[in-house]
Amino acid sequence: MNPQPYLDRLQYAGATSVSLPTLRDLQAAHLFRVPFENLDIHQSRPIELGGSYAKVVEQRRGGFCYELNGAFAKLLRALGFEVKLISGRVHSAKNGFGPEFDHMACIVTLAGTDYLVDVGFGEFSLGPLALRLDEEQTDPRGRFRLIRHDEQYLLVQKFDGTDFRPEYLFSETPRELTEFAGMCHFHQTSPASHFTQKRLCSLATPSGRITITGNTLRLKEGEKLTETELAGPAEFNQALRQYFGIQL
């Protein structure tokens, strides 16, 4: 794969050497340019795991975890990084941990150190998290920690102002893209999936986040939050174009 069109999509003109600073810059660029979104699900457009590059780069869209981390892994490999896809089990207060393949993330190995890299989990770290257990890691998006959950799984946690709360379990077992097909289909079609409940489009910014949930546009700048109700399809589509560069 020629990485240049992808780098252009990210508006990235920095170094492409296989290094931690490059990985950190690429991850942030991806999070600032490629939105986390489920719009195809609400347009009744099937999401194909193999179509993530075309969707992100050629159609200038976003996607959910399987698409975003799947596409980003391709870019990193094209640049020479050692990358493996991993399965995550997302935590919710209501249901506990989800099933295997509930989430896709990446592990990147650099100079003998493994890093958790995730561009498909909403309000998460902007940079790689080293797989060093019981060590707090500070990121522009918060404080994170990885702990051993059991013999199979690690748990990534985020500090919520009071305590470290679980985000998702993951194992370091490398996975193939096709292994995620069943859960990808589930999240597109099941009434039990939160992705089928409301339209979502969300993008990190250097100082906050821009999000559409249902018909509500939320602009967060630092501690300031502004909410606007989008009155109908015309306003919804205008917001997609203005804030996310998406034309449905």
pLDDT for residue 226: 96
**Predicted local confidence at residue 88, as pLDDT:** 98
3 state SS for the chain: CCCHHHHHHCCCCCCCCCCHHHHHHHHHHHHHHCCEECHHHHCCCCCCHHHHHHHHHHCCCCECHHHHHHHHHHHHHHCCCEEEEEEEEEEECCCEECCCCCEEEEEEEECCEEEEECCCCCCCCCCCEECCECCCEEECCEEEEEEECCCCCEEEEEECCCCEEEEEEECCCCECHHHHHHHHHHHHHCCCCHHHCCCEEEEEECCEEEEEECCEEEEEECCEEEEEECCCHHHHHHHHHHHHCCCC
Q: What is the pLDDT along the chain (248 residues), one digit of tens a residue?
A: 999 999 999 999 999 999 999 999 999 999 999 999 999 999 999 999 999 999 999 999 999 999 999 999 999 999 999 999 999 999 998 889 999 999 999 999 999 999 999 999 988 999 999 999 999 999 999 999 999 999 999 999 999 989 999 999 999 999 999 999 999 999 999 999 999 999 999 999 999 999 999 999 999 999 899 999 999 999 999 999 999 999 98
Q: Please tell me the predicted confidence (pLDDT) of residue 242.
A: 97
Q: How far is CA 91 from the centre of its chain?
A: 15
Q: Write down the pLDDT at residue 60.
A: 97
Contacts of 191 (CB under 8 A, 6+ apart): none
What's the pLDDT score for residue 69? 98
CB crowding 186-203: b at 16 or more within 10 Å, else e: bbbeeeebebeeebbbbb
Amino acid present at 227: E
What's residue 228's pLDDT?
Answer: 97
The pLDDT value given to residue 122: 84
Domains present along the chain, CATH in parentheses: 4-191 (3.30.2140.20)
Model pLDDT, residue 43: 92
pLDDT for position 95: 87
Residues written for the chain: 248
